[in-house]
Amino acid sequence: MAGLAESGSNPDVELLYDINGLAKDAPHWFDRVMEFVGEYGLLFAIVLLVLWCWWGVRRRGGEDAAPNVAALVWAPLAAGVAVLVNVPIRGFVERPRPFKSHEGLEVLVEGKNDFSFVSDHATLCMALAVGLFVANRKFGIAAIVLALFGGFARVYMGVHYPTDVVGGFALGTAVALLLSPVAMALLTPLTRAVERSPRVGWLISARGRSGAAGRGAVIPGARKESGAETSGERDLAA
């Protein structure tokens, strides 16, 4: 399988040269920005989206807080599982990095000596993004857009073929979606147990302590939120 896409006459290689050719024509400072964005920046941005979403969930609290946090916990776990699944795939395909098989590429990051298919970066970013989409569609769509741009950046940097990136997107999506029901079944009871804890319940809901303390008691002047108000606040889609 090592000879995969070694011919310069196929669309994969042609697209590689077209996208990477943009790096040759771009200013030096722009290439440095793309290097940082493609290597670290976009992955970090998606992680921040997951944390931002978690912060909003715990602030709102409510009965759905535990399952929603469970869905958010699944996002980084899905990314980790997807990368582990990729280990035997890379070893089986044994596809060299594109700059080892094709001359004239503008390589922005040195020291990439491992195999190319499937892209770990693309796998990580898309698994995180799709996992976030399972929890929250608005944040998830933003993360998926970032992941797609991250895949483009990997080809721009000259370290992956386009099909490496597409394969990573497919792997990350498959793991995040197909294993989501099992993950939710295991994680939701765990997050509910954490929510009931007086010490770490704040990780699930900022209102967890007061809600637990006042459960079953009638508080003067307190009233339940209407269905319209509740549905307006909740943005999470399990």
Domain boundaries defined on the chain = 11-212+229-233
Please give the Cα distance from 170 to 178 (Å, whole number): 12
Residue 92 token pair: 């089986």
Q: How many Cβ atoms sit within 10 Å of the Cβ of residue 99?
A: 19
Please give the Cα distance from 159 to 165 (Å, whole number): 10
Q: For the chain, how long is the longest CA-to-CA vector?
A: 77
CATH assignment, 11-212+229-233: 1.20.144
The percentage of residues in the chain with a pLDDT greater than 90, rounded to a whole number, is: 44
Supply the pLDDT for residue 59: 85
Q: For 123-151, write each residue's pLDDT tens digit.
A: 999 999 999 999 899 999 999 999 999 99
Supply the pLDDT for residue 167: 94
| Signed CA dihedral, 234, 55, 68, 226: sign only | negative
Q: Are 144 and 130 in contact (CB under 8 A)?
A: yes
Helix and strand element counts for the chain (H, E): 11, 0
Q: Which of 114-123, 191-200, 215-224 has the lowest mean pLDDT?
A: 215-224
- For range 41-53, the mean pLDDT: 93
> Confidence class of residue 207 from pLDDT cuts 50, 70 and 90?
low
Helix axes 11-25, 162-178, angle to 10 degrees: 110
| Signed CA dihedral, 111, 116, 120, 125: sign only | positive
Q: Which of 41-50, 92-101, 115-124 has the lowest mean pLDDT?
A: 92-101
The model's pTM is 0.79
